[in-house]
Amino acid sequence: MPTEAAPPRSDEHRITVLGAGTMGAGITSLALGHGVPVTLVDVDQAALDRARARIDHQKRVAQLMGAVPEGAAPGELSTTTSLDSTADATVVVEAVTEQYDLKSVLLTEVGARTKPGTVLITNTSSIPVDDLAGYLARPGELVGTHFMNPPYLIRTVEVVQGPRTSQHVLDVLDDLLRTLRRESVVVSDAPGFVTSRLLHPMINDAARVVQEGTASAEDVDVLMVGCLGHRTGPLRTADMIGLDNLVDSLWVLHERTGDERCRPCDLLLKKVEAGDHGRKSGRGFFTYERTEQLS
């Protein structure tokens, strides 16, 4: 076993984020707003170009809402289609599509490039962390860090400690989250952990209510907000998550738990097939202006 280095100081973090989609851009915006440099990686140069515009917009929104430290110098953003930057990162965040094969292959490649002691974060919403850790030569370096969307505004983070996650990794992650002014709640490893295990079947149920004609999407959300105190409503939340990501997560939960409530309902499947993926596509259960798609 290699000797693990001491955790970096707060001003020494260098983050590489893998995936320039909704969550990758949001996590990047969060880090940059708190002065931490980020290299954003994606295989698609066009996705990186779109992400830059989204990140600029999100940083302005975060500043207007007082979600960044006053007077803080923003971190520097670099973008690339190469994984080479992972070799010098202190933290690598995997934020690609919720597909087991894609994540496992990517983490295998990254684990072979990073230095011992580098923290590897998976932002999976449903796949058990230890399932993915098994693809690493140093499985103790992987931890689940489930940022909520939008991560540059939501201050609480679900941290998933796998059975092989090392204390060094938890210490570095704790320092990073403090730098980002995030409050973490550490939970044990399981399919869907806490947030997705509770939220995603509930969203599926809400979509099924609309599918069955009991109520419109608008009325479902109004009732959930007004009567039950849900902050945004389950179906607007689904649009924010991305209906394609939600369906992927539900299939993972269904496969690993056998819970029929996690089988994606027909309405969700039809919307995904039609390309109605939520805010990022401009249409899901609701429709969105371009500025809303960027946020």
| Nearest residue to 103 (alpha-carbon basis) of 79, 133, 83 | 133
Q: Given this model, what pLDDT does residue 4 score? A: 52
Instruction: Render pLDDT for 134-145 as a digit per residue (tens, 0 to 9).
Output: 999 999 999 999
pLDDT higher than 80, residue 8: no
CA torsion, ordered 174, 175, 181, 185, to nearest 10 deg: 0
Q: Could you say which of 3.30.1360.30, 3.40.30.160, 1.10.287.3510, 3.40.50.720 is the CATH number of the domain covering 10-188?
A: 3.40.50.720
How far is Cα 196 from Cα 127, in angstroms, rounded to an integer?
10
What's the pLDDT tens digit per position in 171-213? 999 999 999 999 999 999 999 999 999 999 999 999 999 999 9
Does residue 294 carry a pLDDT above 80?
Answer: no
Checking if the pLDDT of 7 tops 60, the result is no
pLDDT digit string, tens, across residues 226-244:
999 999 999 999 999 999 9
- Is residue 38 within 8 Å of residue 92, measured between CB atoms? no
Query: What superfamily does domain 195-284 belong to in CATH?
Result: N-(1-d-carboxylethyl)-l-norvaline Dehydrogenase; domain 2 (1.10.1040.10)
Q: Rounded CA gap, 167 and 244, in Å?
A: 34
β-strand partners of 183: 156
CB 138 within 8 A of CB 171: no
Q: Please write the tens of the pLDDT for every residue from 113-159.
A: 999 999 999 999 999 999 999 999 999 999 999 999 999 999 999 99
- Can you give the pLDDT at residue 71? 82
Q: Is the pLDDT of residue 104 over 80?
A: yes
Percentage of the chain beyond pLDDT 70 is 95
CATH fold match for the domains 10-188 and 195-284: no
Q: Residue 11: which pLDDT band, with cuts at 50, 70 and 90? A: low
Q: What is the 3-state secondary structure (H, E, C) of 1-25?
A: CCCCCCCCCHHHCCEEEECCCHHHH
pLDDT at residue 60, rounded to an integer: 94
Break the chain into its structural domains and give their ranges.
10-188, 195-284
